[in-house]
């Protein structure tokens, strides 16, 4: 099975996330895409992140009805800081026959050399870097220079429409009492309202 792995805080998930996942599924001929809400990501330790189960539930609502999309909660169950290399190792240990594709935004590609064990990440999964709309695809040369040709050859480039949405902006709009209609699925919008998420600064 060709399995796409899409990790993030998803606080909350929005249509930009969903379009990225669907475009990668189509362009990379993926059988499934799994959304993995992060537990305690190393780059956001100092930020307030919503309860993991609530973020996972919003994901479940957002992808309902899409047979190729699933939510995997393994990072939420792991104690301490969660690292991509550990997650991919866990997935590979579950079923080594699966071919893994790790989905990231194109703007995160240049940060890859700073991640924990980036070469091992590229060994475990093909890296799919996604650019948005007419924004240029980030050059893989800095990654090649930092990590070598073997890693660079494991990078696939995909594209998606230019959707200027962010979870940060959605949280700020909720806090300010502004509409988030058409930014996130209606079920997620209703969940945010019902549970009073993002209202406190």
Give the separation between CA 59 and CA 198, rounded to whole angstroms. Answer: 16
Mean pLDDT over all residues of the chain? Answer: 92
Residue for token pair 């993991």: 52
> Could you read off the pLDDT of 184-201 as tens digits, one per residue?
999 999 999 999 999 975
Confidence (pTM): 0.93
Q: Looking at 21-35, 38-52, 104-118, which range is the least confident one? A: 38-52
Q: Classify burial at 181, counting beta carbons within 10 Å of its beta carbon; exposed 0-12, middle 13-18, buried 19 or more.
A: exposed
* The predicted structure's pLDDT at residue 46: 45
Q: How does pLDDT run across 51-85, given as a tens digit for each residue?
A: 999 999 999 999 999 999 999 999 999 988 899 99
The pLDDT, as a whole number, for residue 114 is 94
DSSP β-bridge partners for residue 33 = 4, 69
Ordered by where they begin, the domains of the chain are 2-163 (3.40.50.620)
């Amino acid at each position: 099975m060709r399995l796409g792995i899409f990790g993030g805080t998803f606080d909350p998930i929005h249509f930009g996330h969903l379009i990225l996942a669907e475009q990668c599924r189509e362009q990379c001929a993926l059988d499934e895409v799994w959304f993995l809400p992060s537990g305690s990501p190393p780059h956001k330790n100092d930020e307030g992140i919503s309860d993991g189960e609530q973020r996972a539930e919003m994901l479940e609502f957002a992808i309902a009805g899409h047979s190729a999309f699933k939510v995997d909660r393994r990072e939420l169950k792991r104690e301490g800081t969660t690292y991509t290399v550990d997650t991919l190792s866990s997935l590979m240990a579950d079923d080594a026959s699966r071919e893994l594709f790790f989905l990231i935004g194109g703007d995160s590609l240049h940060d890859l050399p700073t991640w924990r064990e980036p070469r091992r990440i590229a060994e475990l999964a093909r890296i799919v870097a996604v650019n948005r709309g007419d924004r240029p695809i980030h050059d893989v040369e800095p990654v090649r220079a930092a990590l070598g040709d073997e890693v660079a050859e494991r990078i696939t480039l995909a594209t998606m429409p230019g959707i200027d949405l962010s979870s940060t902006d959605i949280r700020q709009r909720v806090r300010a009492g502004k509409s988030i209609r058409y930014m996130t699925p209606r079920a997620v919008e209703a969940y945010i309202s019902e549970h009073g998420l993002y209202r406190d600064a």
